[in-house]
Structure 1
């Protein structure tokens, strides 16, 4: 089987790094290390599942975010939506958001 390669747009990397500090600053996590672990679990899910998790086609109003998306339920309250493009076994993560945003109304896990 071909090796799967996952790349993240710089804006996505920036978002994920900022997420750590937001989660910690807003007291979602008491320790910075826990916020880092949370972010790492999102990345691990993407890297381990992007090639075999059933994806959905992105609704037309959100198509500029990426043509496909998968979702990750990090807990009972939060679902992460991961938008991407792919060619063969290479995946480019183009955008990440969660169900607490306005655009989530266009998405269904």
Structure 2
């Protein structure tokens, strides 16, 4: 199955590069770009093998009947990838992390 990112998710990932630099989480643009690219590749390569969980009701604003998986990128940050299975694809509808959405994940 292929992985398709919603246009708004692609925009959020692009903006993440700027946030990582502005908030000084990562020091250089090449490092921030690499971080985001690695996250995308990790999702594309591993979404099918990760344990998926039913998304909490709070996240239905991004779509109905969604699942989510987690990626532990470092000791401080866990990414949550919310998606639907549409025909033969994983349709990624929203991406967040424990800093922004951790309180809504049970």
TM-score normalised over the length of structure 2? 0.90
Q: C-alpha distance in 1, partners of 2:28/2:58?
A: 37
| 1:31-90, Cα deviation, whole Å (9 max, x unpaired) | 100000110111011101111111000112222334100010110000000000013541
- Native 8 Å contact 1:69 1:81 kept in 2: yes
**Ranges of 4+ aligned residues in structure 1 off by more than 4 Å:** none
Question: Partner residue of 1:100?
Answer: 99
Size of the alignment, in residue pairs? 104
Give the aligned CA root-mean-square deviation in angstroms.
Answer: 1.3
Listed as ranges, the gaps of 5+ residues in structure 2 are none
Per the TM alignment, residue 99 of structure 1 is displaced from its structure 2 partner at its CA by 0.4
Partner of residue 26 from structure 1, selected from 23, 27, 34: 23
TM-score normalised over the length of structure 1? 0.88
